[in-house]
Amino acid sequence: MPSPLNSPPVFLPFAPTHDTLPSSPYTGQQVTHAASGVVFRWNGAAWAAAAPGREVAPAGAGVVVGRLVTVVAGLAELTDPAAHLHCSGIVEAVVEALAVFRFAGPVAGFSGLTPAATIYAGAGGLPVEDPDDAENVIAVGYASAADTIHVQPSVGG
């Protein structure tokens, strides 16, 4: 039986709530951002999403909740079907100039979606059901309900 001195590290299932991200974090520190509810973990170099299916990147111009982003050179930009070939995910929160986006799984908060319809990237990073065939057709996922997109970038269309 291992002694307490050589036991594996214990990770707490919660993270203290903060109004802002700590400016001098320690590696492995987890915090819950009060306004967004997002749990962040300091990886030693940058804040990362602690929940599965999510990523964090500095937010480019115009990046807001509910828009599609493509990470280019480390920056989350609005997905532009005229310029990009893929989508990295849907923005769930913007915290201190960091875009928190889901790259796999459900994102709620939409309206008027047709359940089971394939969702594509539209102009300005908007999710659409009918893509512009004159641009790159980028499938993002599917509508799992009238208000929810299930992000699944490998979905064809």
Q: Give φ, ψ of 4 to 5 degrees.
A: -60, -25
For residue 14, the model assigns a pLDDT of 64
Judge whether residue 157 has pLDDT over 60. no
| DSSP tag of 59 | B
Instruction: Give the pLDDT confidence of 1-49 residue by residue, as tens digits.
Output: 444 444 444 444 567 888 999 999 999 999 999 998 899 999 999 999 9
Judge whether residue 126 has pLDDT over 90. yes
- Cβ-proximal residues to 135 (8 Å cutoff; 6+ apart), any chain: 81, 82
Instruction: Give the pLDDT confidence of 129-152 residue by residue, as tens digits.
Output: 999 989 999 999 999 999 999 998
pLDDT band at 154 (very low <50, low <70, confident <90, very high): low
Question: How is the chain split into domains, by residue range?
Answer: 9-104, 107-151
Q: What does the alpha-carbon distance between residue 152 and residue 127 come to, in Å, rounded to a whole number? A: 13
For residue 2, the model assigns a pLDDT of 44
Separate counts of helices (H) and strands (E) for the chain: 0, 14
